[in-house]
């Protein structure tokens, strides 16, 4: 029977494990809600499901593009539509799961008209200063290059105040009344899980994956500046030791988890402890 739910949580919270357990038991369709898993060449740094899992389960949203190609929320929505069509055609449940909450929120809240990004010589501080003067209601962090450039592109291209333009061109979201479940951990326990996962990634060949990526692609690409890879670049450049590499990845991942937990509070979700999550979700799939 078709229905759809979202399963969210911070990095290393066990979302993929639970989704795969549900897939093994109930043959569900899984849409990966992860902005790094879309890249074909990034496997270890993205904590991507194994090749066996990808082969045996109905996965969407994984291995879509190369690291030198651009991915955005519009492309993610198209992948969601593919996953939903497959789930409907086969009368299967659809589980949307991953750590990129922004994609999920956009599907719920909707999108505004897309504006092509313009070239600019302005740096982040200059754009931020201009934005605060012209459009103070547009909330963006000073270091959020993507959204700052988006604001400037709208302003330069339309000659309108971006916050007004976005509101005027807004279209409703495509996800209505979806149940959202969030896997939560006590902070210290999650930190321990992150530390163990970092160690596992290094054992599985993270440094080798990074070395190959940096040899083939421009290290300035957004995908190659994700956590795990940017620290490996410092290690490969001789700037940090192996111990420092492991500690930095762990620390930066823990900081990401904190930001994800804060962002996830925007959702009206049902919180689940990891240990009991499968049994609780199992009841939904058996009704």
61 appears as a binding residue in the annotation: no
CB atoms within 10 A of CB 123: 11
55 appears as a binding residue in the annotation: no
14 appears as a binding residue in the annotation: yes
Contact 165, 144 (CB under 8 A): no
Give the sheet arrangement for strand 179-184, strand by strand: 58-60, 29-32, 94-97, 4-9, 179-184, 270-273
286 appears as a binding residue in the annotation: no
15 appears as a binding residue in the annotation: yes
How many helices (H) and strands (E) would you count in the chain?
12, 6
Token pair in block for residue 155: 């302003």
13 appears as a binding residue in the annotation: yes
158 appears as a binding residue in the annotation: no
Contact 260, 183 (CB under 8 A): no
Contact 11, 19 (CB under 8 A): no
262 appears as a binding residue in the annotation: no
Instruction: State the binding site.
Output: 9-16
Instruction: State the binding site for ATP.
Output: 9-16
Instruction: State the binding site for substrate.
Output: 11-16
């Amino acid at each position: 029977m078709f229905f759809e739910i979202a399963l969210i949580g911070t990095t290393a919270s066990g979302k993929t494990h639970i989704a795969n357990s549900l897939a093994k038991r109930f043959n569900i369709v899984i849409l990966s809600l992860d902005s790094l898993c879309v890249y074909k060449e990034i496997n270890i740094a993205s904590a991507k499901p194994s090749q066996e899992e990808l082969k045996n389960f109905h996965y969407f949203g994984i291995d879509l593009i190369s690291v030198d190609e651009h991915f955005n929320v519009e492309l993610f929505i198209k992948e969601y539509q593919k996953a939903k069509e497959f789930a409907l055609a086969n009368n299967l449940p659809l589980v949307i799961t991953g750590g990129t909450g922004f994609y999920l929120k956009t599907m719920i809240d909707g999108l505004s008209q897309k504006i092509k990004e313009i070239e600019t010589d302005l740096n982040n501080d200059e754009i931020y200063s201009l934005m605060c003067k012209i459009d103070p209601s547009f909330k963006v962090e000073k270091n959020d290059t993507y959204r700052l450039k988006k604001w400037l592109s709208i302003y330069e291209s339309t000659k309108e105040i971006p916050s007004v333009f976005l509101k005027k061109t807004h279209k409703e979201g495509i996800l209505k009344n979806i149940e959202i479940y969030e896997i939560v951990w006590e902070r210290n326990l999650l930190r321990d899980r992150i530390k163990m996962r970092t160690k596992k990634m290094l054992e599985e060949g993270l440094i080798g994956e990074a070395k190959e990526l940096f040899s083939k692609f421009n290290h300035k690409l957004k995908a190659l500046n994700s956590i795990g890879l940017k620290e490996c670049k410092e290690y490969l450049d001789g700037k940090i030791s192996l111990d420092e590499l492991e500690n930095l990845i762990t620390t930066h991942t823990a900081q990401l988890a904190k930001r994800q937990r804060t962002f996830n509070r925007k959702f009206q979700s049902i919180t689940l402890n990891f240990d009991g999550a499968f049994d609780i979700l199992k009841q939904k799939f058996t009704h």
